[in-house]
Structure 1
Amino acid sequence: MELEVRHLRVLCVIADTGSLHRAARELGMAQPSLSTQLRRIENALGAQLFVRSRTGCRPTPLGLVVLSRARPLVTEFAAMVTETRAAAARVACGFRLRIGATANRAIPGWLHRLRTGVARIEPTLQMNVSANSLLAMVAAGRLDMAFVHEVEGSPLRMPPGLRVRVLVEREPQFVTLAANHPAASRDRVRMADLAGDRWMVDATVDGEWDALFRALRSAGLRSEMLHGDYLTAYSLAAIGEVVTVSQPTAHPRPDLAIRPLEGDPISVRLLLAARTEAELDEVYPHLEESYWAVAREAPAYVEWLKNARTPATLPPDGRHQPNGLTNTPPRTRA
């Protein structure tokens, strides 16, 4: 009998479940068939790998050694299958790129640049309020990449093996309030200026409820926090019913004021995740261009960027970069 990757997976599942019965159920096999297969594997290796008992099945010392070598092979093979299937799906669909994203004003321009650029990439888009869900879909091969935000203080659950490129290391989140709100006359709004206001936040977005809660408590405020999507929040803010958190690139409206918060107590990190560096290289420049295009259209953000510039953030070529924002050269991490 020659050992194959499927045999190594059998060993891993038995070890993980601790029972031939549970392992057989997870593998979709009858328990007698699994017992026979395990004996064949052990015969092929010439050693007992598991100790069977009425309470379960545990690895022998030699079994632990075999498992330590088997697990990386099983993981790598699964990743290869996932990436190959994803690549095949793209070819079958005419080089469609399956993108997942949380809300961001850079997305329309990014998709347009991909579609009309030299590579003529045809993107599809799946929006989701949960960055963690999108990252899991990329890892599973159901999406090719995800453009998401990570709320400061609420780290994302990054699946192993994904490559990440950071677009903005720390993007401040602004406050949106009625244009006639007393605090709208300020260039920067203090949390204390909003002591009498109710806040609305979308609690389904990973980390955002917690971030606002921390900011309010840090300012010594116990403001009422309402649940709601941001479209509703902006409508209510326009008539003075609530104030809400917004991205700094939010488009100006005559009935709303978008202002930085003093001290930037709420911030996010913007990142693009994919399974390979090649995928990131292909699309990241278009995303970067789109983001800074919409940033230039947001007066409050432009002003914040001007005030945030410091000599320490000047690149060697002399071009200004905002303090705390890193977009050249792109950063990657596993």
Structure 2
Amino acid sequence: MKLELRHLRVVCAIAEAGSLSKASSLLGLAQPALTAQLHRIEALLGGKLFERDHKGARPTALGELVLERARVLLPAFSRLQEDALRLVDDTVPADRYRVGAVNGPMLGGLVHRLTEAHPGAHVSTQVAWSGQELSAMVAAGRLDYVLVGVCGDAPPPSEHGLTWHVIAVEPVFVLMPEDHPFTLLEEVELAALRDTQWAVVPGDGCFGDCFVAACSRAGFTPRTMYEVDINSCIDLASSGDAVALCQPTFRRTPGLVAMPLAGAPLRWRHLIGWDPEGPAAAFGPQVLRYAAEAYRETAERSPRYSGWLPGHPEYGVVPHRALV
């Protein structure tokens, strides 16, 4: 893992809040997940960033150095994004749907529905690892809608003033070879995978920390986690070198099975956001409905997931009234 801007934001949030408990509330993270993330950041930087006691968290000398640099870098990065976006020509067709998406199951189905229902419209897409990056593009008028995923009850990107709706809530499955003995079970206990290596597609949320916290609740610390692209996840799972954490809608791949984890210890929410003051807001409910239809169709193509859903009614497509 490399040091990223999101890590600097975490360090600044802890310093400003004065304690991990207050910072976890501000960041929308469970305190164990934030503590695990801080430990990973400290491991990257080679020392403790905060002295912690009953009075709160106070920066160490190393922490003060990191905070000093972070308070310069973070505003500079935001200004760079804003200035770069202002230089781009913003002229677009009147009838348009510009959709940004982080890795998810419904972009293709959404594009199909948009082009079918609006044959004269200009539909364009942009994908990225970062929901923050795409949300900033919506706020700047470079995109109309953004599809993101967030872990558990974590909030969506909030600094850009977008309106957010929940499309669907889903459990996290694990991808393993079809000849693995666990594929004969209905569900896999997370603790039964304590000795495995792990693979996951990267993102800018708290999923990695929530996974570590879930493993801790199951009584173990996970071994190596490879952050790789989707194809590498498939390769590592196929070879048996790692169990890949995946969405339950993962497209069927020869030789691999996506298995549910007992008790669904990890949960994922798919969201759509738009600028409530922008012209795209008028069509937001319609695009939300298309996205929900696309998710439902994708879920139905997964026999194991579609068979799992009836026994877990809290998962799947969420009624459109749900608003974040």
TM-score (norm 1): 0.64
Q: Which residue of 2 aligns with 1:330?
A: 321
Aligned 8 A contact 1:129 1:206 in 2: no
- Over 3 Å counting, the alpha-carbon distance change for 1:332 and 1:279 in structure 2 is farther
Following the alignment from structure 1 to structure 2, what is the Cα–Cα distance between the partners of residues 326 and 293?
Answer: 10
Q: CA deviation at 1:91?
A: 7.3
Counterpart residue type for residue 296 of structure 1? E
Return the alpha-carbon distance in structure 2 between the equivalents of residues 92 and 257 of structure 1: 43
CA contact (8 A) 1:173 1:264 kept: yes
Alpha-carbon distance, 1:254 to partner = 2.8
Q: Which residue of 2 aligns with 1:305?
A: 309
Q: Which amino acid aligns with 2:274?
A: A
C-alpha separation in 2, matches of 1:299 and 1:199: 24
Please tell me whether the aligned partners of residues 167 and 330 of structure 1 are also in contact (alpha carbons under 8 angstroms): no
Deviation at 1:121, TM superposition (A): 3.1
Give the 3-state SS of the residue equivalent to 1:331 in structure 2: coil
The 8 Å contact of residues 153 and 211 in structure 1, kept in 2 or not, is answered as: no
Cα 1:150–1:200, aligned 2, differ >3 Å: closer, same or farther? same
Deviation of 1:328 (Å): 2.5
User: Counterpart of 2:176?
Assistant: 177
Query: What code does the residue aligned with 2:247 have?
Result: Q
CA distance in structure 2 between the aligned counterparts of 1:204 and 1:329, rounded to whole angstroms: 26
Deviation at 1:326, TM superposition (A): 5.1
Aligned residue number for residue 100 of structure 1: 100
Report SS of the residue matched to 2:323: strand
Matched residue SS, 1:258: strand
Q: What is the aligned-residue RMSD (CA, Å)? A: 2.4
2:235 paired residue number = 235
Aligned to 1:274: 274
Instruction: Give the letter aligned to residue 174 of structure 1.
Output: F
Question: Matches of 1:180 and 1:113 in 2, distance apart?
Answer: 37
1:289 equivalenced with 2:288 (yes/no): no
The question of 1:155 aligning with 2:155 is answered yes
> Is 1:140 matched up with 2:140?
yes
- Matched residue, 1:110: 110
Partners of 1:307 and 1:174 in 2: CA distance: 16
Q: Are residues 153 and 306 of structure 1, via their aligned partners in 2, closer, same or farther at CA, if it must alter by over 3 Å?
A: closer
Long gaps (5+) in structure 2: 1-81
Following the alignment from structure 2 to structure 1, what is the Cα–Cα distance between the partners of residues 257 and 199? 16
How far, CA to CA, are the matches of 2:261 and 2:125 in structure 1?
A: 32
Matched position secondary structure for 2:137: helix
Tell me what 2:188 maps to: 189
| Percent pairwise identity | 29
Displacement of 1:227 in angstroms is 2.5
CA distance, structure 2, for counterparts of residue 233 and residue 326 of structure 1 = 26
SS of alignment partner, residue 332 of structure 1: coil
**Change in 2 beyond 3 A, CA 1:286/1:90:** farther
1:208-241 deviation per Cα after TM superposition (whole angstroms, max 9, x unaligned)? 2222212222211223222222320111101211
State the 1:154 CA deviation: 4.1
Deviates more, 1:253-262 or 1:94-103: 94-103
Change (3 A) 1:260 1:177: same
Name the amino acid aligned to 1:177.
M
Which structure has more relative contact order (CA 8 Å, sep 6+)? It is: 2
* Cα distance change, pair 205–178 in 1 and its aligned pair in 2 (3 A): farther
CA contact under 8 A between 2:132 and 2:204: conserved in structure 1? no
Residue 260 of structure 1 is matched in structure 2 by: 260
Which region of structure 1 is more displaced relative to structure 2, 102-111 or 276-285?
276-285
- Within the alignment, does 1:122 sit opposite 2:122 as a pair? yes
Give the superposition deviation at 1:176. 0.5
Query: Number of paired residues?
Result: 234
Gaps of 5+ in 1: 1-81, 309-321
C-alpha distance in 1 between matches for 2:221 and 2:318: 36
- Per the normalisation by structure 2, the TM-score is 0.66
| 1:103 alignment partner AA | N
Deviations 1:114-135 (A, max 9, x none): 0111464322111011112211
Q: Does 1:245 align with 2:245?
A: yes
SS state of the match for residue 182, structure 2?
A: helix
